[in-house]
Amino acid sequence: MRIDDLIQISDYEWEIPRRHRPDMRVPVRLFASRQILDQIMDDRSLEQAVNATTLPGVVGSVVVMPDMHQGYGFPIGGVAATECPHGVISPGAIGYDINCGVRLLASSLELAQGQGKLDALADRIDAYCPSGVGKSGALSVTAAELDRLLRDGAAWALKHGYATESDLERTEDGGQLEGAMPDRVSERAKTRGRPQVGSLGAGNHFLEVDVVEEIFDEQKASSYGLQAGCLAIQIHCGSRGLGHQVCTDYVQQFQGAAKKYAIQLPDRELVCAPMDSPEGQAYFGAMRAAANFAFVNRQILAHFARRAFEDTYKSETTRWHLSQVYDVAHNMGKLEQHMVDGQAMRVCVHRKGATRAFGPDSPGLPSCFQKTGQPVLVPGSMGTASWVLAGSTESMLRSLGSTCHGAGRVWSRSKAKKEIRGDTLRRELEARGISIRAGSMSGLAEEAPAAYKDVDVVVDTVVRVGIAVKVARLRPVAVIKG
Amino acid sequence: MGFEELPHTADCALRVWAPSLGSLFVEAALGLNSVAGAEIGSGARVTRRISLHGADSESLLVAFLTELIYFQEQEDLGFDQFGIEISNQHLSGTLEGARLLSLSKPVKAATFHNLMIRQTKRGQETEVVFDV
């Protein structure tokens, strides 16, 4: 792929037209500055976006966000919609970490007041919230209880005292995808997931203590519960081994389905089945169950992060409560209504490394976000800023109600480990006032800020294009990683 | 026979080659150990018998690697000796290894991305991309 293959629509919008390759069903629409485009031309993300346009039933455009990078089939930062009921659903276009996502909790405790105990807070979060390789989760559940958890999602956590009604209201889809089918989740997946309820995992998953550094929209920030100068907590993780196995199972099973339904694809990882087929429905049910697992996972971690906050600060202030801002998914398949080529259409929106960004008055949003649009949580790379954005009306028209999900990698993990020493990075971050708790120095090096794009540039791009609005910028003060 | 790491932005990709299909699977397993940073202990040796089926050789390879990922994650076991037979898209045999001392980068899954087992000058060859 070369820059010449792209049509420039505006400073931040480009298209790969259908004529680029004979098997394309729709064009690719990507949002990127020229600087970002130059960064990603060396990897295969655009080729993968072109591959995604071959999915049967795909409509509109395959949309790619400025935090895009090469994945394993579908590009990270990609969004594709397939028409209901006969269009396909593709597990690879949603990802192995089903409902990997971000939760943000906010306090009214000012950094100045909490600063002296940040190390103690980081130690408590590290102790209370299991993270790292092979670590069991915070909870032990029976097989029967796991099935209920998979079916009910965050409602299960509410029933068992780990959530509030407000938490559920301020979680995408109330923290429960309807239509979850635990019986479509394999025993192998359940075996992997059962010991991991309430665990962070490793890799690029993290818990982070932030300060709300700057507010760009006072009204929206107030609606979201954000106060300048006050502490907040972000949680980034997903469905752990259960989700990984669900995707593995169905990518394997769909190899046969692709042949059965005479679906030809340029990449076997994009295998799919019609949504209304038995295979498609089975995957949908299993995917929703795995998504519910991830909602519960983040809810449990939030519960224990709240406890850490309380235990650290209650002796000196009453401002230790953490209220939920929102919880968003960035690997998901959802049935939604969108305007596509001027027509209202029910579609399955596949988001892989992309976040839903519904604007004001969107159906499906709770009443507390009807005027503002939903919060969109965009974590930056470790040690850099994160952002709270708001969904916009424009996103519904231009990007299937979606926007970016993070900074997006530019370096491979091996390059990051060659260029960066984890212990040196740790010292540099701590010298900047960021407490680090990391299980692995090599893992820390892989997540170095230099390995990622500049999240401020990514956010500026989506804002300039109009598919999100700035609400607040967060600065990290403590990072806990597996 | 052997494996080498290929550049990949967010995940891990290997190129694997070996004289035969069976030995290709073994090299891929050793490559998985390398990607995951699996340090196999010198304690009591453990064996596991496996029996897997795939629609084709690529599916069978993914199924085999998935099985090894499961053992790493769920049973803290790493394998470095393989007595496997592959016939008619069926794999059976014995894995031998020991408890893991450490696993620095757990692998989420073996993918089908770019997976195509083919005959080259080095014998059987393929690329495998792992989600990490």
Which CATH number is A233's domain given?
A: 3.90.1860.10
Partners of A310 in beta bridges: none
Backbone angles phi, psi at A273, to 5 degrees: -145, 155
Is residue A130 situated within a structural domain?
A: yes
d(CA A296, CA A290): 10
- By the CB < 8 Å criterion, does B112 face chain A? yes
**Contact between A412 and A366 (Cβ < 8 Å):** no
Q: Model ipTM?
A: 0.95
d(CA A156, CA A292): 9
Flag if B74 and A252 touch (Cβ within 8 Å).
no
| Segment 318-347 of chain A within 8 Å of chain B by CB | none
Flag if B55 and A271 touch (Cβ within 8 Å).
no
**What is the token pair recorded at A199?**
């665990």
In the predicted model, residues of chain A with pLDDT beneath 50 are none
What is the predicted pLDDT for the residue at A240? 96
A208-229 burial string, b = 16+ CB within 10 Å, else e? bbbbbeebbbeebbebbbbbee
d(CA A201, CA A205): 6
What is the predicted pLDDT for the residue at A174? 98
CA distances from A306 to A105, A233, A298, B34, B83 (A): 9, 9, 12, 38, 50
Is residue A427 situated within a structural domain?
A: no
- By the CB < 8 Å criterion, does B37 face chain A? yes
Distance of residue A91 Cα from the nearest chain B Cα, in angstroms:
11
What is the predicted pLDDT for the residue at A131? 84
Flag if A96 and B5 touch (Cβ within 8 Å).
no
* Structural domain count of chain A: 1
Distance of residue A319 Cα from the nearest chain B Cα, in angstroms:
38
Is residue A419 situated within a structural domain?
A: no
- By the CB < 8 Å criterion, does A179 face chain B? no
- By the CB < 8 Å criterion, does B118 face chain A? no
Of B9, B76, B105, the CB nearest to A443: B105
Flag if A252 and B62 touch (Cβ within 8 Å).
yes
Is residue A152 situated within a structural domain?
A: yes
Flag if B12 and A413 touch (Cβ within 8 Å).
yes
Is residue A226 situated within a structural domain?
A: yes
- By the CB < 8 Å criterion, does B127 face chain A? no
**What is the token pair recorded at B31?**
């490559």
Q: Which of A69, A205, A338, A405 is catalytic?
A: A405
- By the CB < 8 Å criterion, does A269 face chain B? yes
Distance of residue B19 Cα from the nearest chain A Cα, in angstroms:
25
Is residue A417 situated within a structural domain?
A: no
**Contact between A131 and A207 (Cβ < 8 Å):** yes
Is residue A56 situated within a structural domain?
A: yes
Is residue A420 situated within a structural domain?
A: no
- By the CB < 8 Å criterion, does B74 face chain A? yes
Q: Give me the sign of the Cα torsion angle A105, A351, A30, A413.
A: positive
Of A201, A244, A269, the CB nearest to B113: A269
Mutation target to probe the B interface, by most B beta carbons within 10 A, among A248, A331, A410, A440 is A248
A18 CB contacts (<8 Å, ≥6 apart)?
A24, A25, A26, A27, A53
Backbone conformation region of residue B67, classed left if phi is above 0, alpha if psi is from -120 to 50, else beta: alpha
Flag if A269 and B7 touch (Cβ within 8 Å).
no
Size of the A and B interface in Cβ pairs below 8 Å: 107
What is the predicted pLDDT for the residue at A410? 86
d(CA A230, CA A235): 17
What is the predicted pLDDT for the residue at B131? 93
- Chain A residues whose beta carbon lies within 8 Å of the beta carbon of residue B103: 133-134
The CB-side HSE value for A424 (13 A sphere, CA atoms) comes to 10
Domains for chain B: give ranges and CATH numbers.
2-131 (3.55.10.10)
What is the predicted pLDDT for the residue at A134? 62
- Chain B residues whose beta carbon lies within 8 Å of the beta carbon of residue A97: 108, 131
Any catalytic annotation for residue A236? no
Per-residue pLDDT reduced to its tens digit, A272-287: 999 999 999 999 999 9
Domain, as residue range, for A128: 3-410+452-481
Q: Give me the sign of the Cα torsion angle B89, B94, B98, B99.
A: positive
In the predicted model, residues of chain B with pLDDT beneath 50 are none
Distance of residue A409 Cα from the nearest chain B Cα, in angstroms:
6
- Chain A residues whose beta carbon lies within 8 Å of the beta carbon of residue B12: 413
**Contact between A97 and B108 (Cβ < 8 Å):** yes
Q: What 3-state DSSP class applies to A131? A: coil
Of B7, B56, B108, the CB nearest to A97: B108
- By the CB < 8 Å criterion, does B73 face chain A? yes
